[in-house]
Structure 1
């Protein structure tokens, strides 16, 4: 009798391994693939990151303000398209209480390219570097760009994954709601 004709529990150990791996993947993969939108309604993960200017920026120091965080990378075409539009939003709502952090997730050896891209696009908001990817993991940033809006109490209220022309209208609508609360 072939070992493959017996129930899987009686198969030799090497033959059971693939089924065990498959079973483990089916059980645990959904927990590992949580979309960033699952953060909505949750407290925003705090972080401290180095800024382009050289100092550190801590999210918790902006309690009481509306914060927009945009995760991006130099290899991301939609990021390049979105960044100038975010700069327009920042310029318009900065005085009303908007704080905008641009979080670059490039590798440490590519930070010069990130600075160059931000300079070329003339962004006026703070650029932060997440070279170790700790913050992007905390925010479940698996799609670039990722835009997160946080209310004055530090709760994530809106998450947008990716970018297409017109998304900035959504950001503005949500932002106005939060600034008026």
Structure 2
């Protein structure tokens, strides 16, 4: 019996899903091949807005794991990717996790509304970085770019290009990142 308890404890301790560690290789093998782990780097506190003129910053999300996505209405890969970000937010978003999708650059409100309606996005707030101030500070050169941010406000991974964020690999990644 004692061996069973010890074996179970070792198994749980070695399992990344239980230890709060991320199995980067599993994420790559599962379809997130372009995801690159980065050294933990604090994200800027630069403000961005919403359509009503409210201001926000990434510090508003401290304590949560954030999947930050920079997108634009003219970006074809963004159009393909946005429904999966919306689905990920619908399934896992809440107290521990938030998808933060920011339209960077010139994206007129009617174009944003049309884009989100056509993509059937219902679970993500509209957030804007019209002058690309935050995007530039974060080294975004093209779109889409998605950044994984830990609870302490540090970038820990980045994916340049589109991805299926509603995939099993993406969900496992977020569950591992939010594990205690």
Q: Would you call these one fold, judging by a TM-score over 0.5?
A: yes
Deviations 1:107-130 (CA, angstroms, capped at 9, x unpaired):
16x332123212332322122111
Report how far residue 177 of structure 1 moved: 1.2
Distance verdict in 2 for CA 1:74–1:87, change over 3 Å: same
Q: Structure 2: which 5+ residue stretches go unaligned?
A: 1-35
Q: Identify the match of residue 122 of structure 1 among 120, 131, 141.
A: 120
Match of 1:77 in 2: 76
The 4+ residue runs of structure 1 with deviation greater than 3 A are 37-40, 164-171
Distance verdict in 2 for CA 1:41–1:57, change over 3 Å: same
Match of 2:48 in 1: 49
> What does residue 94 of structure 2 align with?
95
Aligned counterparts of 1:38 and 1:102: Cα–Cα separation in 2: 20
Give the greater-gyration-radius structure (CA).
1
Helix, strand or coil for the counterpart of 2:93? helix
CA distance in 2, matches of 1:94, 1:81: 20
| C-alpha distance 104-39 of structure 1, shift in aligned 2 (>3 A) | farther
* 3-state SS of paired residue (2:94): helix
**Aligned-residue CA RMSD (Å):** 2.4
**Structure 1 stretches lacking a partner, 5+ long:** 1-36
- Alignment partner, residue 113 of structure 1: 111
Q: Which residue of 2 aligns with 1:173?
A: 172
Work out the CA distance in 2 between the residues paired with 1:107 and 1:120: 19
Give 1:49 deviation, angstroms.
Answer: 1.1
Quote the offset at 1:106 in angstroms: 3.2
Gap change, CA 1:53 and 1:116, over 3 Å in 2: farther
Q: Kindly indicate whether the alpha-carbon contact (under 8 Å) linking 1:158 and 1:174 is maintained by their aligned counterparts in 2.
A: no
CA contact (8 A) 2:37 2:157 kept: no
The answer as to whether partners of 1:144 and 1:162 remain within 8 angstroms in 2 is yes
- For 1:166 and 1:157, locate their aligned partners in 2 and report how far apart those are by CA, in whole Å: 17
Give the structure-1-normalised TM-score: 0.70
Superposed CA deviations along residues 56-94 of structure 1, whole A, max 9, x for unmatched, are 222112111111111011111110010001111001111
- For the residues of structure 1 that align with 2:126 and 2:113, how far apart are their CA atoms? 8
